[in-house]
Amino acid sequence: MSKVLEIDMKDVELNKLDPELQPMTGDGTAAGGETNGSVMLKVPDEEVKFTGLSKDELMKVAGTPGWVRTRLVLLVLFWLGWLGMLAGAIAIIVQAPRCKSIPEMNWWNEGPLYQISDLKAFSSDGIKGVVEKLDSVNQLKVKGLVLGPLHTVQADQPNTLDLETIDPTQGTKEDLDALLEKAHKKGISVVLDVTPNYLGADPWFGSSDLTGVLEKLKAASEYWLGLGVDGIKVSELGAVFDSPSWPKIQAAVQGNLSEGAKKRALMGVVRGMSAAKVSQLLNTSAVDLILSDLLSTNNGGMERAEAIETLLSENNQTSLGWGLGADRQDHLSEKATTPELVKLYQLLLFTIPGTAVFTYGDEIGLRSQGAQSPMMLWEEKPAEGAVVNETAEAEMKERSACRKWFKSLSDLRNKERSFLHGEHHTLNSSATSLAFLRLWDQSDRFVTAVNWGAAPAELTLRPPGELELPNEAKVKLSTDPKLKVDSMVGLDEITLSPGAGVLLQFPFTG
């Protein structure tokens, strides 16, 4: 009896075990209705891959009337769209304003010329010093150096004239070779002043032996050009242009050029002539570039405007050189007696049609010192710990500001087509002021307005003919404190402070 009860009790204990402890036989049902030991797996549907139509099926579909019509419609729409775009492009091209062809230019038309008449004043090392300072000059974007005269001669002594030998105090032929090599690598041309009697009273020793002097000049021109010089300059052109020997000088400089070779410049200087006579001389002498004193001898705005217009009406601006004292190798500061006026005349020279010619130091407003050439002032940082004079420091800052202004103008002159070869139109002129417009085809237009008088000037701009000005323009450069750079100014009337200048810009609008 006890044995039977023992067995029964074991069965009861086993039955009372938690479901989790029961063996996984797969025969029972687990808690929650699931069969113990069973795992629910979701068998994915069999993937159906679209393999597309076969070639035969495609051919059958493509041949149906619906697809034939669809293809025909799409083909017609494609060609209609293509023809429409072609017609539109042709219409735009036909209706668009034609661009003017760029006129022929030479290297002396692309930027200013920089005269170094006294090389020892420019640098105590003469020609070597010019080589050393060429990087600084190159920053001014000049296109040509006008050197010398460098040849040997005693004042008013024609028997001592040697146009093919460099004055030993200036340097040597090897120094000149080095200068030519470095300048040409930087895209700077070199013109040599060979005015014979540059130390004496008459540049040509009078008329006693003019033919003999011109023969020497011809030989010297051929010699220097053979060494790589890019041009020849002579003073007092009016005294020699009608000599029978002058055509030989022309032939020596302007002739014997191979196709595609860089053109060489024959440059002449005239003084004391009217604009009409300068124009006539330019045509009869056949020089490439003529530099006059018209801006120096004419102090009024109306006279200056008339001189510019007279020369432009009868000559190409590519042959016109402009300076303010450069004809005598004087400095700009002799005419412009204040730093403000120096900047004003720099603005004027850079923006009138033709080539601006400066004397060394004009970029910093270098002051003349009587009959002697002033020594060029180079910016040098004071030694560490050195006491700097306030006056000297102020002058240094002024020279630096003037040079920065010069560089800005030179950069504009180099890249803006309206300045390179644009039309010129006077807008206003008075005794002490001048305003004019420069424009070229579809390029930006510029208005230069300057007032060198001691009182404010009100300039009413009157464009000639059918030309029209916009209501306002942007200030590009300014020395007038009331006209801030990038501000907009109305063009009906401009008020300029005394000794101030402004350059205004507005776009071509078609």
Answer yes or no: is 52 within a domain.
no
Same domain membership, residue 495 and residue 362: no
Burial 238-256 (b: 16+ CB within 10 A, else e): bbbbebeebebbbebbbee
CATH number, domain containing residue 468? 2.60.40.1180
- Position 26 confidence tier, pLDDT thresholds 50, 70, 90: very low
Same domain membership, residue 161 and residue 124: yes
Q: Which residue has the tokens 């040849």?
A: 151
Average pLDDT over residues 134-160: 96
- Position 5 confidence tier, pLDDT thresholds 50, 70, 90: very low
pLDDT in tens, 473-487: 999 999 999 999 999
Predicted local distance difference test score (pLDDT) of residue 38: 52
Lowest pLDDT segment from 21-30, 304-313, 424-433: 21-30
Examine the pLDDT at 108 and tell me if it is beyond 50.
Answer: yes
Answer yes or no: is 93 within a domain.
no
Q: Exposed, middle or buried, 43 (CB in 10 Å: 0-12/13-18/19+)?
A: exposed
Predicted local distance difference test score (pLDDT) of residue 91: 82
**% of the chain at pLDDT higher than 70:** 88
Dmax (CA) for the chain in angstroms is: 171
Average pLDDT over residues 56-84: 83
Answer yes or no: is 180 within a domain.
yes
Answer yes or no: is 58 within a domain.
no
Answer yes or no: is 23 within a domain.
no
- Position 96 confidence tier, pLDDT thresholds 50, 70, 90: low
Strand duo 493-496 + 457-460: pairing: antiparallel
Same domain membership, residue 349 and residue 495: no
List of E strands, 140-264: 144-147, 151-154, 157-166, 189-193, 231-234
CATH number, domain containing residue 367? 3.20.20.80
Answer yes or no: is 404 within a domain.
yes
Same domain membership, residue 330 and residue 237: yes
Same domain membership, residue 429 and residue 397: no
Nearest to 211 by CA among 239, 175, 243: 243
Average pLDDT over residues 73-93: 88
Same domain membership, residue 372 and residue 429: no
Same domain membership, residue 207 and residue 159: yes
Same domain membership, residue 433 and residue 339: no
Order of strands across the sheet that contains 445-451: 423-429, 433-439, 445-451, 500-506, 472-478, 488-490
Predicted local distance difference test score (pLDDT) of residue 17: 47
Q: What are the tokens at 343?
A: 């900047």
pLDDT in tens, 308-363: 999 999 888 999 999 999 999 999 999 999 999 999 999 999 999 999 999 999 99
Answer yes or no: is 271 within a domain.
yes
Mean residue pLDDT across the chain: 89
Predicted local distance difference test score (pLDDT) of residue 48: 57
* Under 8 Å between Cβ of 483 and 474: no
Answer yes or no: is 92 within a domain.
no
Examine the pLDDT at 39 and tell me if it is beyond 60.
Answer: no
Predicted local distance difference test score (pLDDT) of residue 381: 67
Report the distance separating Cα 245 and Cα 234, nearest Å. Answer: 14
- Position 51 confidence tier, pLDDT thresholds 50, 70, 90: low
For residue 359, which phi and psi values (nearest 5 degrees)?
-100, 145
Q: What is the DSSP letter of 29?
A: B
Average pLDDT over residues 20-39: 49
pLDDT in tens, 354-413: 999 999 999 999 998 777 899 999 987 666 666 778 888 899 999 999 999 999 999 999
Examine the pLDDT at 65 and tell me if it is beyond 90.
Answer: no
Count of domains for the chain = 2
**% of the chain at pLDDT higher than 90:** 73
Examine the pLDDT at 31 and tell me if it is beyond 50.
Answer: no
Examine the pLDDT at 257 and tell me if it is beyond 70.
Answer: yes
Give me the domain span that covers residue 300.
Answer: 107-376+392-415
Average pLDDT over residues 258-282: 93
Predicted local distance difference test score (pLDDT) of residue 57: 73
Same domain membership, residue 282 and residue 263: yes
Predicted local distance difference test score (pLDDT) of residue 6: 45
Lowest pLDDT segment from 25-29, 194-198, 439-443, 487-491: 25-29
* Under 8 Å between Cβ of 228 and 211: no
Same domain membership, residue 437 and residue 366: no
Average pLDDT over residues 430-456: 97
Which residues fall within 8 angstroms of residue 469, CB to CB, at 6 or more apart? 437, 447, 461, 463, 491, 506
- Position 258 confidence tier, pLDDT thresholds 50, 70, 90: confident
Same domain membership, residue 461 and residue 409: no
- Position 54 confidence tier, pLDDT thresholds 50, 70, 90: confident
Same domain membership, residue 313 and residue 430: no
Predicted local distance difference test score (pLDDT) of residue 506: 97
